[in-house]
C-alpha cells in the first residue's frame, strides 16, 4: 500500500509542475486547450517517470497478485455478473471487471485516443480480484498512451489568452473592478446554446459526465456532474448480501469511491 503511495507522489509532482496543483481538481484545462504550455523540462521528467514506473508495476504484481493471503481475501468476493453490471449502470473497471469491454475512449473516440495503440483491459470473473487485475493492467496501458502522446506533441508557438489578458494590465476590461468579485459581473465567456447538452469522458473510475441545460446565454439553466463512483455505489447493498463483515471493506475498496463524490 505504501509502496504505491511513493509513485503516486511522483505523479503529483508532475501535476504540480504543470498546473500548480497537486490534485486533479486544478484550473489547468480550459475550453479549447489548457491555461499555459508545459514548463521547460517537464516532458523529460514525464518520460523518466514512465521508465521508472513500468518496472514498479511488475513489482506490485510480484508482491500482490499471487500472494496466497491476498488471493484468499479477494478471489470470489463481491462478484458482479455481466448482466448485473449492465443493469446497474456500472462503468469503468467495475464494468470491465465483469466481462464488458467498454471504454469511452474507444467507444466515443474523443480527443486523440483513437490515434494511439492501446487496448481495453477487461476480466470475466466479476469479483474483487478481477477488478484488481483490470486496474493493474490499465496502469501499463496509461504508460503506453503517455509515451505515444509525448512523441506526438507538436512544436511551435502557442496562443496563451490568459497571459495576454495579464499583459494588458489595467487596459484590459477583464481586469476591471466589475469582474473581480463573484457577486458582480462574470468575465466574458461564451454563450451556452439553448437546449440540453451532455458530454462524457472515461475517468479512472468510469464515466464522468457533465449535463448542462442552456438558455442561449453565458449562464447555464441547470448544471449537473455525473460522478462515476457515485453511480457505481448503489450496487453495494446488493453484493453485500450474505457476506462476512470483514468482506465489506474489501468490496468497498474494489468499488473505489472517494467521499467527495458519494457524500450526497
* Below-70 pLDDT ranges, the chain: 24-26, 156-166, 174-189
The predicted pLDDT at position 160 comes to: 57
CA atoms of 179 and 183, how far apart (whole Å): 9
| C-beta separation of 42 from 17 below 8 A | yes
CA atoms of 131 and 133, how far apart (whole Å): 5
The predicted pLDDT at position 182 comes to: 47
The predicted pLDDT at position 161 comes to: 56
Phi, psi of 203 (to 5 degrees): -90, 180
The predicted-structure confidence for 80-89, as pLDDT tens digits, reads as follows: 999 999 999 9
| C-beta separation of 123 from 134 below 8 A | yes
The predicted pLDDT at position 168 comes to: 73
The predicted pLDDT at position 183 comes to: 45
152 torsion bin: left (phi>0), alpha (psi -120 to 50), beta (else): alpha
Q: Strands, E, within the chain: which ranges? A: 29-30, 33-34, 195-203, 206-214, 222-226
CA atoms of 247 and 84, how far apart (whole Å): 20
CA atoms of 177 and 93, how far apart (whole Å): 47
Q: Bridge-partner residues for 196, per DSSP?
A: 213
Of 203, 246, 245, nearest in space to 103 by CA: 203
The predicted pLDDT at position 19 comes to: 87
Residue 25: CB atoms within 10 A of its CB come to: 7
| C-beta separation of 196 from 213 below 8 A | yes
Phi, psi of 13 (to 5 degrees): -60, -40
The predicted pLDDT at position 231 comes to: 93
Amino acid at each position: 500500500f505504501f509502496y504505491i503511495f511513493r509513485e503516486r507522489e511522483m505523479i503529483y509532482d508532475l501535476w504540480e509542475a504543470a498546473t500548480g496543483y497537486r490534485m486533479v481538481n486544478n484550473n489547468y484545462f480550459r475550453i479549447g486547450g489548457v491555461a499555459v504550455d508545459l514548463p521547460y523540462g517537464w516532458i523529460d521528467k514525464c518520460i523518466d517517470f514512465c521508465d521508472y514506473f513500468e518496472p514498479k508495476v511488475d513489482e506490485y504484481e510480484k508482491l500482490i497478485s499471487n500472494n496466497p493471503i491476498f488471493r484468499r481475501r479477494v478471489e470470489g468476493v463481491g462478484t458482479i455478473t455481466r448482466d448485473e453490471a449492465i443493469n446497474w449502470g456500472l462503468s469503468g473497471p467495475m464494468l470491465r471487471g465483469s466481462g464488458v469491454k467498454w471504454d469511452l475512449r474507444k467507444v466515443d473516440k474523443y480527443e486523440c485516443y483513437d490515434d494511439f495503440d492501446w487496448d481495453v483491459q477487461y476480466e470475466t470473473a466479476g469479483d474483487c480480484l478481477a477488478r484488481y487485475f483490470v486496474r493493474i493492467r490499465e496502469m501499463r496501458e496509461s504508460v503506453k498512451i503517455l509515451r505515444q502522446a509525448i512523441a506526438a506533441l507538436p512544436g511551435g508557438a502557442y496562443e496563451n489568452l490568459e497571459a495576454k489578458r495579464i499583459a494588458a494590465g489595467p487596459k484590459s476590461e477583464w481586469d476591471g473592478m466589475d469582474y473581480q468579485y463573484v457577486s458582480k459581473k462574470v468575465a466574458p465567456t461564451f454563450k451556452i446554446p439553448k437546449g440540453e447538452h451532455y458530454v462524457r469522458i472515461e475517468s479512472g473510475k468510469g464515466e464522468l459526465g457533465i449535463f448542462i441545460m442552456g438558455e442561449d446565454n453565458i449562464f447555464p439553466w441547470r448544471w449537473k456532474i455525473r460522478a462515476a463512483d457515485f453511480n457505481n455505489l448503489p450496487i453495494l447493498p446488493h453484493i453485500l448480501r450474505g457476506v462476512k463483515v470483514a468482506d465489506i471493506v474489501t468490496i468497498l475498496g474494489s468499488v473505489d469511491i472517494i467521499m467527495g463524490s458519494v457524500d450526497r
